[in-house]
Amino acid sequence: MSRASWKLWPCVALALVTSACGDEAEPPTAAEYGELLFRDARLSESQFNAFSCATCHATTPTPLNGRMDSGYTLHNVVSRPDWWGGYETNLLDAVNFCYVSFMRGVQPLPVDSPQSRALYEYLVSISPDAQAPALPYTVVKDIVEVPRGSLERGQTVYRAACQECHGELHTGEGRLTELASILPEVTRDYDELFPGIPHSLVVIEKVRHGQFFHIGGNMPAYSLEALSDADMGALLTYMGL
């Protein structure tokens, strides 16, 4: 699509998310509009969604210091041959998996919608290399106990991986959404909910599988690449589990 034909619609759609686009303002390019959508939880119409794409994905070549996201950085994402460890061979499907599973999008974004087109242009703009390798994605299938690690490492991992959504340990202070459980206090109900199962195993299950395997919710799952078993063990020490 030519640049000119991208010019008109973003302004109309952008008016929904900001008050920009006065007569004097230059209409944003599709990529600029895409970046706004990328950073705005209101991309999803669900009132229960508090996540934007940026909640889980960096866009810089390497992840920012102090951040351990469930999702990879999307720098060069368009240049990868496939996504989700080869499970997805179509980029929009890879995006829509997140949109529907984590952002509570009711319908996948249609291929010709202004949102998916703009998101695509933004992802192109952060993919400077012609080719980039596909990234590994290893789901931990069987949930087993992990050796506990150091308290200090656990605190670092908690801050880097969990705190943005869950807030401070024990209080939830600063959490992204009230829907994010207070850790580790949420485990107090586990004897009733999951009788006979050690609390730590339920937490490992949640972190490794997110909402899948019938637990529900919209927290993302952490692959082995996103969180090692050693860091999981340190996290459990920090949470006193």
Q: Which residues bind ligand HEC (CB under 6 A)?
A: 43, 51, 53, 55-57, 70-72, 74, 77, 80, 83-84, 94-95, 98-99, 102-103, 119, 135, 137, 161-162, 164-166, 177, 179-181, 183, 186, 203, 206-207, 211, 217-220, 222-223, 227, 235
Considering the complex, state which of residue 6 and residue 43 has its C-beta at the smaller distance from ligand HEC: 43
**229-238 and 199-209 helices, crossing angle to 10°:** 130
For residue 39, how far is the Cα from the chain centroid?
11
CB of 105 to ligand HEC, least distance (A): 8
Considering the complex, state which of residue 218 and residue 237 has its C-beta at the smaller distance from ligand HEC: 218
User: d(Cα 47, Cα 147) in Å, to the nearest integer?
Assistant: 39
CB of 3 to ligand HEC, least distance (A): 22
Considering the complex, state which of residue 117 and residue 166 has its C-beta at the smaller distance from ligand HEC: 166
Nearest Cα neighbor of 71 from 130, 142, 123, 143 is 123
Report yes or no: 135 and 226 within 8 Å, Cβ to Cβ.
no
Report yes or no: 125 and 3 within 8 Å, Cβ to Cβ.
no
CB of 19 to ligand HEC, least distance (A): 23
**Position 220: which residue type?**
P
CB of 12 to ligand HEC, least distance (A): 20
Q: Is the peptide bond before 184 cis (omega within 30 degrees of 0)?
A: yes
Considering the complex, state which of residue 7 and residue 39 has its C-beta at the smaller distance from ligand HEC: 39
CB of 54 to ligand HEC, least distance (A): 8
Report yes or no: 13 and 34 within 8 Å, Cβ to Cβ.
no
Considering the complex, state which of residue 28 and residue 73 has its C-beta at the smaller distance from ligand HEC: 73
Considering the complex, state which of residue 11 and residue 68 has its C-beta at the smaller distance from ligand HEC: 68
Using CB positions, name the residue nearest to ligand HEC.
217
CB of 119 to ligand HEC, least distance (A): 6
